[in-house]
Each structure stands twice: as C-alpha cells, then as structure tokens.
Amino acid sequence: MTALSTRELAELVGGELRGQGTRLIADVAASDAAEAEHVTFLDGVAAEGRPRTNAGAVLLAAKHLDVLGADSNADLIIVSAPLDAFVKAMLHYRPVAAAPTVGVSSSANISPLATLGDDCHVFPGVTIEDNVVIGDRCVIHPGAYIGTGCHVGDDVTIYANAVLYPTMLLGDRVIVHATAVIGADGFGFQFLDGQFVRIPHTGTVRIEDDVEIGAGTTVDRAMIGETVIGAGTKLDNQVMIAHNCRLGQHNAFASQVGLAGSVTTGDYVRCGGQVGVADHAHLGTGCSVGGKAGVHGTVPDGEDYHGYPAGPAKETYRIAMAVQKAPEMRKQLRRLEKQVQELQSRLAESDHLRAHAPAA
Amino acid sequence: MTALSTRELAELVGGELRGQGTRLIADVAASDAAEAEHVTFLDGVAAEGRPRTNAGAVLLAAKHLDVLGADSNADLIIVSAPLDAFVKAMLHYRPVAAAPTVGVSSSANISPLATLGDDCHVFPGVTIEDNVVIGDRCVIHPGAYIGTGCHVGDDVTIYANAVLYPTMLLGDRVIVHATAVIGADGFGFQFLDGQFVRIPHTGTVRIEDDVEIGAGTTVDRAMIGETVIGAGTKLDNQVMIAHNCRLGQHNAFASQVGLAGSVTTGDYVRCGGQVGVADHAHLGTGCSVGGKAGVHGTVPDGEDYHGYPAGPAKETYRIAMAVQKAPEMRKQLRRLEKQVQELQSRLAESDHLRAHAPAA
Amino acid sequence: MTALSTRELAELVGGELRGQGTRLIADVAASDAAEAEHVTFLDGVAAEGRPRTNAGAVLLAAKHLDVLGADSNADLIIVSAPLDAFVKAMLHYRPVAAAPTVGVSSSANISPLATLGDDCHVFPGVTIEDNVVIGDRCVIHPGAYIGTGCHVGDDVTIYANAVLYPTMLLGDRVIVHATAVIGADGFGFQFLDGQFVRIPHTGTVRIEDDVEIGAGTTVDRAMIGETVIGAGTKLDNQVMIAHNCRLGQHNAFASQVGLAGSVTTGDYVRCGGQVGVADHAHLGTGCSVGGKAGVHGTVPDGEDYHGYPAGPAKETYRIAMAVQKAPEMRKQLRRLEKQVQELQSRLAESDHLRAHAPAA
C-alpha cells in the first residue's frame, strides 16, 4: 500500500518506462477519474476513444503510445498486456484483505454430524446440516445454508444467504455468491387428472473445481443423475441452469442467461446476457452466443451465433440488415407491381395495334 | 431400497415383462448413465434418438419395443406411461426422506403472538413475526422469514432464506423455494415535482393450494386488493409476478418469465422461459406462450403464441421463415427492378420502331 | 381508520362532491372489487374501459363524469388527479404501520466496531460487520447482512435477507428489498493459459439518496472506482446492474432489466421489463426503452426506443409492421417474377413477329 515512483511501478509490472520515473503514485484509478497520484491503464477500447486522463502514470501497449496526445504529461509505462499489468499494480495498492479470522462461530448452527476441515471460517447465522463434509480453508458467510449430505472441497467461499440444498457436490476453489441457490428441485411435473404432480428429483448438482456462481443464480438438481457445471466455468448473476444440464469446462455466461432442461455445452462456451437456450439444445466447444439470442438445437463448435431464432452471426446480421429495409421493400414492391401492370397494358395495346395495323 | 428382480420390478410398475426376469436391479438411472444394475426409461423424445443404453432394465411403450436394437440385452418392461412407471421405480429405490424431526427449534425467532399448528418443524434462524398463523405439518427451513400477520395453510414447505412480507396468504401444500420473495411492494410510483414518490401498497398476495414457487421468484403485493396465484399453479425459478396480477389455476411458467402489473390468466396456461407479458394483458385458458415471446393484449383461449411481438404460432412461424429470406428478397427486388427497367426501354424502343416503321 | 361520509372524503382529498354526501365509506378498493362502503378511483385507462363498479364513492376527473353511466349510484368526487386523491384516501383508511419498535435485538450479530445512529431497529438474525456506520432511524430486517466498512445513511430500510457486501455506500432514505445483493464482484476475468482468472474488484457501489432497490436485484461493485445508482432512481425486482455502470437520477427500471458493464444513463431514463443493454452503451436523459428491447450504443436524450436491435419507436414500428407482411411480400415477389418473365417472352415474341413480319 506504499506509494511507488513510476520507475518502481514500471519494475513491478515489468514494463518499459517513458518519462522521468520520479512521480509518486499512491493508488490505481479509472482513466477518467484518475489524478496525478494515480496509475491507470488503456486497453484497446479505451484507446480507440482517444481518452484524456489526468493520471500521473499510464500503463499501455506500445501501439497506443500516441493516443494520449501532447497535453498528457503522464509517465507512460509500456507493457504487452495493460490490464494484466494494471491488476498487478492494483494488488500492490489494494492487497486482498486477509481472510477473516472468525474461526467457527459458536452462533453458527452446525450439526455434530458435519465434518469441517482445517482453518475454516464459519460465521454466525450459518446452518450446516447432518453429514455435510467441508474441506480446508473454506469461508462460509452469515446466513448461508448447507443442506444435509453436501460435500464441499477445499478453499471454497460461500457468501451470505447462499443456499445449498441437500447432497450438493462442490469441488475446490468454488465461489458461490450471495443468495445463489444450488439444488432446488427441477421444474418437472406429470400432468395427471388435470393437475401437475411433482416428479421427485432425486439427482444432484456437481460443481467442479474453480467454478464461480453469481449472486442470485440458480442451478437446479437433476431428476436422476447430475446437473454438472464443468471446471473453471463462470456464471454471472441471475443465471438459471435447469435440471440435468451438463456444462463443459471454462464456460462463461453473462447475467440473466437461462438454460432449459438437459442442455449440454462443450468447453470454452460464451453466452452474452439474457441468452435463452431451449431444452436439449447443445452449445458446441468454443462457440459463442450473442446477448439476448434464443437458441434451439445445436450451435456448432467454434461458431458465433446471434439473434432469435439464433443463427450464424454473419447470416443473422445480413437478415437483420435486410429487415431494416422491409418498409422500403414494400414500397419497391408496390412500385414494381404498378410498373408491371403498366407494361402489361402497354404490351397488350402494342400487340393489339400490330394485330390491327392497317395493311400498309 | 432393496434390489428387485426385473420380474418384481415389472409387477411393481404394472408392466409386461419381455426377458428372463431374473436380473437384479438396484437403482434408477438416466439411459446414458445406466449400467447393468439400473432401470431406465424411454420417453418419446429419447426413443426418437434411437439411444443406446447399458441399463439392465428399460421401461418403455409398446410402440418403442424395436428402438433399442439387437445389441441391447436389457430386460424390457412394457408400460403405457414410461415416465410414470419410472417415477414409481424411483420412489422404491430412493424413498423420500422422512420429514426432518427438528420440531420447533429454540434458535428460531418466533413471536409469542404467532400460532403454529401441530407437527411443524421450524429450523434455527427462522423468523416468525407477530400474529402469524401457521397450519399443521409445515416445515420452515433456516433463514426463512415470515412477516407479521401472514396466514399459512397445512403441509406447507418454506425453504431456506425465502421471505414472506407481512400479511401474505398461503393455502395448503404450498411450496416456496429458497430465496423466493412473496409480497414486496409493487413497482408503483407517482411522479410529483420531478421525483418518483412511492404509492403505498396496502394490498396483499394470495397463494392458493398446491402452488409451487421457484427459487429466486418474486411475487409483488397488490396496491389494493390481492395479487393471486391460482390453485395448482407452478412457477419455476426467477419468475417475476408484478402487483395486481391474477393467475388462474394450474398454470405452469418456466424460468425467468416476467409479468408486468395487472396481468390476468385463465386456467392451464403455459409460458416458456423468458416470456415477457405487458401490463393488463390477458392469457386465455389453455393457451401457451413460447419461450422468449413478448405478449401485449390478449392471447385467446387455447391458442399457441410465439415471437415478439407474439402472435399465433403458425403465423409467427410463417413470418419467421419469410424473414430468413429477406436478404434474398432484396436481391430479387433489385433483379426485378432491373428487368422491369429493361422491359420498359425495350417496349419504348419497340413502340418507337413501330411508330417509325418505314411504310412497307 | 374511521369511516368518513362522502362529504368528509371530498374535503379530505380536496375534491368537488356530486351526490348526497351522506354515504359512509369505510375503506378503499379497486373498482371491480368495490362495494357500497368503498371508495375507488378511475384513471384514464380504467375510464376508457367504461367500467362498472359497485363502489359507494368514486374519485375521478371531470372529463370522465359520464363514464360510469346511469346505473351507477355512487357519489362522485371530482379531482384533478384521481390516483393522488386515492392515495390520500388510502393513507387515511390504512395508515402506514408504526415502525417496529424492536430496538436493537440482542440476537443480532453486531460488531463492537460498528456504529449505529439513534432510533434504529435491528432485528434478530441481522449481521453487521466491523467498521459499519449506520445513520439514524434505520430499520434492518431479519437475515440482512451488512459487510465490513459499509456506510449507510439516515432513514434507510433494508429488508429480510438482503446482502450488502463490504464497503458499500448508501445515502439517506434508501430502500433495499428482500434478497437484493449490492456489491458482489463484477463479472470480470482475464483469460490466461486457457483459464479464466478473476480480476480483483476493489471498487465499490454508491447508492444515492431516495433510491429503491427491488427484491432479488443485483448491483455489482466496480473493478476500481464506483458503480453508481443516482438519487431518486427506482429499480424493480430482479434487475441486474453490472460493474462500473453509472446511472443518473430518477431513472425507473422495470423488472428483469439487465445492464452489462460500464453502461451510463442520464436522468429520468425509463426502461420497460426485460430490457437488455450492452456494455458501454449510453441511455440519454429523458429517454425511454420499451420492454424486451436490446440496446447497443447510444439512445439519444428524450428518444423512445423499442425492439431488438433497438431503434426509434416509430421506425421500429414501421419495420415490425412491414415484417408482418413478409410472407405476403414473398408471394408478391414470386408473382412479379412470373409476370416479368411472361412480359419478357411476350416482348421477345412481339419483336420476333415484327422482325419477321411478312412484307405487306
């Protein structure tokens, strides 16, 4: 948290200094909020906007050296990956707070049949039910609920008021944000005698290592078997994963995405915000689905899909462009119809004239 | 939970055995995960996919007898409704856990002015406020909050961290999943002197018998009168029901559906995921609305609506198909315009020629 | 809560009485549910529907005096703003319950390093961490969580199971509804060696005076700097505001709206339900965005945008109307193509005939 000269800062982030190197930098800041004592960074998007900044130091790529213009008198630090360098600087100035040292609170409701690993922190108001097994160095925040028979790995963080229904399986380094709900019964009913009768959901949810589950996100348990969130996958807030979905590794879903039942995904799948995916659809490895798209069927590996109904981005874009012209097309059609009618009459007249031409 | 021979299993589910009947089946499983000791089932969708399964027993309809092919050596059990039969088998192998027997925890915060029926289970960390009346055999999980003056029927389950604001009315056998919120103030404001001023919401929410409310779902209280969820209606996770909506009986709304204020629905209405319904719209009895559709006005009884803006499915489909052709249509239009111009010049020329034809 | 004669009621709301003035009115009610002892109101929408009501008194605008027809025998009270008058009546009959007088519960978990103002009510099961500062007359409901270093103004209400992550800043008169989550980490990751690595989010959220945050709504903390919700802004339930968004004053967002990262808005911006806004977009002062619209780029000040992709309402409407005709347009095109072909052959034939015309 100590201030650094821009020379020291350049060393810290492994960058090349352009400037005196003597300015003192006390903190990080966004480019538009930065003052002389701040270091900021320029990524590609920001650089395009030709931003002005009052920052005392700027981390940027060599190709953007000219972007700031002559009126900037910041010390520049050239790095290959400005965001990475900025994160390094941020971690210097704002070190991650030491894990809370509450230990296991006596105000938590912990079943004597539950097992906790070493160095866990369990806050007041937490409930941990029978036969729960929790690994080492986990932090369970106030109001979190861990149902009977859940298995939780090492270094897991569960934030306030998150809920794990019974029998959930969580790997290592999983993060579950506040009010997320893992393992509610899937939305499956039989329709008998005019009523919906719940199908018991006796399956579970398996959340693999390094998954992050956003605030308010819900992942339903499988009817039988498992709903799976593959290792390294990140789900933003208010995402819905229905029963029996099986997500691959390193997916990234933005906020308010909804997957219906039994959807499967490959690895490295990305979904923009508010995407909806119909039941039994498949999102192939490395594909991406644009915000608000509605997917049925299969998105092939590596493809970029957009729109509703979703299709290949290029095609969807062409269609969207054409649709913008639909009113004009209607006008063209009316004009053409008129012109064709005119031609028809003229031709008929012309034929008539010829047919009845007076013998010369 | 004891293993059954396939002969015993056929008897249990009331099916007709095709096979030796001596294999021992120890559990249920999904068709793709099943091994020799498992029973699985084929519904119509699965059967179409001509699945392979290593299951030792398969519940299926007579018409799908050939689907599994010669390489399957499962014992087959013919039933009229494979899913129903499977649920019977599942309940044999995985009986529903006995209700928890915590009784009324001394760590719950229960007002002395609240009344609880017989055989209720109230977990630690629950709050039950003044003048709440709760029926018999209810289960209230940790962290749930029941506000002043709520009336809750018999056999109701309220999961962890769910919230009932004051004065809510719940019928019998209602299920409220984790973090659902019933009775927050409707989103109603007066705009006075450049500011939004909250309109007091003094109405309530009435949730009738056998309703299920999904995790993270929110149902707002009426301004005056009641927001109503009709008997038997099932709401999936992250559904939003705004103030003064009145839902009929046995509706089923998939995840992330949103209803604006004062929407009404008949009975047996189904909505796919992420459907949005504008204020004061009406969804008629027996209608269904496809995923992601946006509804204004009225969906007639029994109709199937899709799209945004939503319309009758057949028409919406025709329009969507035509829209896919929009880029091609633009090309056709340009071609036609050229052809018509050409025809116009040729005809003009032809007329000219005739007019000036040398007298023969 | 005492009954009023319609004469007294007219005085209370500052209206002009048409009728005897002696009927006794005991409560408010919606027009369709009202009986003789109720007062109701007619706004523009209701008046258009030519409603029947059994209410004993009706608040309405002068121009709607005839709407109720001859069969109504209600006493009429003419007012300039019927809803405002109705709210006055409602507050007479249903006065806002006195604030709960629990004081600071000994069953709340409050850090000795936290500071509470005067006349606060903190319910059982609340957690307030170190260095939290809370103003006067705040009400914190059961299960709410207030993380380390949060600053909360005066007259703030935080409902059950809402979560404030550490370091949040709340102004005066803020309302946070049940299960809302303020300050979870923004969805920002670096992609390194085939994995997503969390970017630390060391910024915060600033919620200005008179903001209301709906149930289940999530507002993420900034990476650096602040995510801002401007004074007087109202967010409905299940709204998502991503990291580094900056909302102006007096915005009103309906349910299930989602803003991606770094979106900015002016003042008096309105969004309908399920609107999605892409990252770095800007919604100008006084603009409105229709339900389910998808916004990229900029919505100019004062504009009304609709659709996906969103555009000016008039244009979007024209396009939508034309799109409805797309199937018909395809038919027209086919017909025209045929007609043009026919014309081409006829003209060719005609030319041929003329060319080969027997010399007269």
Q: Is there a contact between A189 and B30 if contact means CB atoms under 8 Å apart?
A: no
Q: Point out the catalytic residue in the list C121, C141, C201, C243.
A: C243
Please, are residues A23 and A56 in contact by the beta-carbon 8 Å criterion?
Answer: yes
Beta bridge partners of B304: B288
Mean per-residue pLDDT for A224-247?
97
> Which residues of chain A are within 8 Å of residue C192 when distances are taken between CB atoms?
84
Mean per-residue pLDDT for A7-12?
95
The answer, yes or no, to whether residue B125 has pLDDT greater than 60, is yes
Q: Name which of B142, B279, B303 is nearest B220 in CA terms.
A: B279
pLDDT score recorded for residue A1: 58
Band of residue B360 on the pLDDT scale cut at 50, 70, 90: very low
The whole-angstrom separation of Cα A120 and Cα A139 is 6
pLDDT score recorded for residue A186: 95
- Read off the pTM: 0.93
Q: Which of B125, B179, B202 sits opposite C90 (nearest CB)?
A: B202
> Which residues of chain A are within 8 Å of residue B350 when distances are taken between CB atoms?
350
Tokens describing residue B155? 């056999």
Q: Is there a contact between C187 and A333 if contact means CB atoms under 8 Å apart?
A: no
Residue C154's CB is within 10 A of a number of other CB atoms, namely 18
* Model pLDDT for residues B99-124, shown as the tens digit of each residue: 666 799 999 999 999 999 999 999 99
The whole-angstrom separation of Cα A235 and Cα A215 is 9
Mean per-residue pLDDT for A91-108?
82
The whole-angstrom separation of Cα A264 and Cα A282 is 5
Average pLDDT, chain C: 93
The whole-angstrom separation of Cα B141 and Cα B122 is 6
What chain B holds in terms of domains, given with CATH numbers, is: 4-93 (3.40.1390.10), 109-315 (2.160.10.10)
Q: Is there a contact between B216 and C216 if contact means CB atoms under 8 Å apart?
A: yes
Mean per-residue pLDDT for A251-272?
98
Q: Is there a contact between A127 and B160 if contact means CB atoms under 8 Å apart?
A: yes
* Sign, Cα dihedral of B84, B89, B94, B95: positive
Residue B38 known to be catalytic = no
Q: Is there a contact between C214 and B187 if contact means CB atoms under 8 Å apart?
A: yes
* A239 → chain C, closest CA residue: C240
Average pLDDT, chain A: 93
Annotate B33-45 with three-state secondary structure: CCCCCEEEECCHH
The whole-angstrom separation of Cα B7 and Cα B22 is 7
Element at B6 (helix H, strand E): helix B6-13
Q: Residue A243: CA atoms inside 13 Å, Cβ hemisphere, count? A: 22
pLDDT score recorded for residue B169: 98
The whole-angstrom separation of Cα C290 and Cα C275 is 7
Band of residue C359 on the pLDDT scale cut at 50, 70, 90: low
pLDDT score recorded for residue B219: 98
Kindly list the strands in the beta sheet with C181-182, ordered across the sheet, starting from the edge strand earlier in the chain: C109-110, C127-128, C145-146, C163-164, C181-182, C218-219, C240-241, C258-259, C276-277, C294-295
Neighbours of chain C (3+ CB pairs under 8 A): A, B
* Sign, Cα dihedral of A307, A309, A313, A317: negative
Buried b (16+ CB within 10 A) or exposed e, A334-348: eebeebbeebeebbe
The answer, yes or no, to whether residue C122 has pLDDT greater than 50, is yes
Put residue C250 in one of left, alpha, beta given phi > 0 → left and psi -120 to 50 → alpha.
left
Size of interface B-C (CB pairs under 8 A): 181
Sequence-distant (≥ 6) Cβ neighbours of residue B288 within 8 angstroms:
B269, B270, B271, B272, B303, B304, B305
**A254 CA: distance to closest CA in chain B (Å):** 15
Please, are residues C238 and C199 in contact by the beta-carbon 8 Å criterion?
Answer: no
Kindly list the strands in the beta sheet with B270-271, ordered across the sheet, starting from the edge strand earlier in the chain: B121-122, B139-140, B157-158, B175-176, B212-213, B234-235, B252-253, B270-271, B288-289, B304-306, B311-312
Q: Which of B147, B218, B329 sits opposite C238 (nearest CB)?
A: B218
> Which residues of chain C are within 8 Å of residue A84 when distances are taken between CB atoms?
190, 192
The whole-angstrom separation of Cα B48 and Cα B69 is 13
* B125 → chain A, closest CA residue: A125
Average pLDDT, chain B: 93
pLDDT score recorded for residue A272: 98
> Which residues of chain C are within 8 Å of residue A359 when distances are taken between CB atoms?
360
* Model pLDDT for residues A28-59, shown as the tens digit of each residue: 998 888 999 999 998 876 677 767 889 999 99
* Model pLDDT for residues B8-56, shown as the tens digit of each residue: 999 999 999 999 999 999 999 988 889 999 999 988 776 777 678 899 9
**A248 CA: distance to closest CA in chain B (Å):** 17
> Which residues of chain C are within 8 Å of residue A141 when distances are taken between CB atoms?
145
Q: Which of A273, A336, A351 sits opposite C276 (nearest CB)?
A: A273
- Angle, helix A326-355 to helix C313-324, in steps of 10 degrees: 50
Sequence-distant (≥ 6) Cβ neighbours of residue C106 within 8 angstroms:
none
Band of residue C219 on the pLDDT scale cut at 50, 70, 90: very high
Lowest mean pLDDT among B163-172, C10-19, C39-48: C39-48
Mutation to test the B interface, candidates C292, C336, C343, C347, most B Cβ within 10 Å: C292
> Which residues of chain A are within 8 Å of residue C202 when distances are taken between CB atoms?
28, 90, 94
Please, are residues B232 and B172 in contact by the beta-carbon 8 Å criterion?
Answer: no
Q: Is there a contact between C237 and B238 if contact means CB atoms under 8 Å apart?
A: no
The answer, yes or no, to whether residue C360 has pLDDT greater than 50, is no
> Which residues of chain C are within 8 Å of residue B354 when distances are taken between CB atoms?
354
Share of chain A above pLDDT 90, in %: 79
Band of residue B253 on the pLDDT scale cut at 50, 70, 90: very high
* Model pLDDT for residues C155-188, shown as the tens digit of each residue: 999 999 999 999 999 999 999 999 999 999 999 9
Please, are residues A171 and A231 in contact by the beta-carbon 8 Å criterion?
Answer: yes
pLDDT score recorded for residue B72: 78
Beta bridge partners of C298: C282
The answer, yes or no, to whether residue A359 has pLDDT greater than 60, is no
pLDDT score recorded for residue C258: 98
The answer, yes or no, to whether residue B358 has pLDDT greater than 90, is no
Q: Which of C148, C218, C309 sits opposite A238 (nearest CB)?
A: C218
**A122 CA: distance to closest CA in chain B (Å):** 15
* C344 → chain B, closest CA residue: B343
